[in-house]
Amino acid sequence: MLVIVFQRDFGSMILLFLAFITFSFLSNLSIMNLIKILSISVLPIFLLVFLYPYRVQRLLAFIDPWSDPQGSGYQIIASQIALSSGGLFGQGLGSSTQKLFYLPEQYNDFILAIIGEELGFIFLVILLMLYFLLFSRIFIFYKKTSQISEFSSNIILSIVLLMFIQTMIHILVNIGLFPTKGMGLPFISYGGTNLLLMFTYIGILIRIQIENKQTFSQAVLKNQK
Higher pLDDT, 154 or 62: 154
What tens digit of pLDDT does each residue of 103-141 get? 888 888 899 999 999 999 999 999 999 999 999 999 999
104: three-class secondary structure by DSSP: coil
pLDDT for 27-47, tens place per residue?
A: 877 788 888 878 887 777 777
CB contact at 8 A, 82 and 117: yes
In which band, very low, low, confident or very high, does the pLDDT at 16 lie, cut at 50, 70 and 90?
Answer: confident
Host H or E run for residue 169: helix 150-174
Domain residue ranges in the chain: 1-63, 76-217
